[in-house]
Amino acid sequence: TIEDTLNYATKTKTPLVIATTGFNDEELGKIKEASNIIPIFHSSNMSLGVNVLIKLVKEAAKALNKFDIEIIEKHHNKKLDAPSGTAVMIANGVKEVLPDSEYVYGRHGRSDKRNSNEIGIHAVRCGTIVGEHTTIFAGHDEVVEIKHTAQSKDIFAKGSIEAAKFLVKQEAGYYNMNNMLG
């Protein structure tokens, strides 16, 4: 469990890279609390490219704030959670820029028109797709898409190694990709 991992890491003063999703508020609180003792790097997605995508999406949301925004994520047919943690990270990035945004998961059963403050989030599960995330900004007569495709899971390991190299040079604290990427 995350509690066992945090207990071990704080007792041994071991810096910790956390690259998983699905923590509840209590668990997130314990992670933040442990970061007062040891350096902790936490990201729901360890891909350097995805984290740059989130920065780009935030910039686009600032500039295209009157556009409709939709997020489509695709993964393999064995993935359990929907939407993905990465799709939620992207949506949260938009919400930082446009705080009145409301998440709408899919459109099934809806019979009203789209509200201007919606962020549509859609999950596709099929085949062996490692991961694909597209953020669509659709305005009057123009569309901008920002997309990332993971072609193998190697990118997550590479990002985790880069995070560990970054983390061992840090003091106790809570770090993420924004800290590492500058």
Number of domains into which the chain is organized: 2
CATH number of the domain encompassing residue 166: 3.40.50.720
140 in active site? no
75 in active site? yes
Same domain? 36 vs 56: no
Same domain? 76 vs 136: yes
| pLDDT over threshold 80, residue 113 | yes
pLDDT given for residue 22 in this prediction: 75
Mean of pLDDT values over 57-85 = 95
Same domain? 105 vs 71: yes
Same domain? 175 vs 129: no
Query: Considering 13, 55, 76, 79, which one is annotated as catalytic?
Result: 79
pLDDT given for residue 178 in this prediction: 87
Same domain? 127 vs 173: no
Query: Considering 75, 122, 133, 148, which one is annotated as catalytic?
Result: 75
pLDDT given for residue 24 in this prediction: 87
pLDDT given for residue 85 in this prediction: 86
User: Could you tell me the pTM of the whole model?
Assistant: 0.84
* Alpha-carbon gap, residue 119 to 103, rounded angstroms: 5
Mean of pLDDT values over 155-177 = 94
Domain ranges, residue 116: 48-150
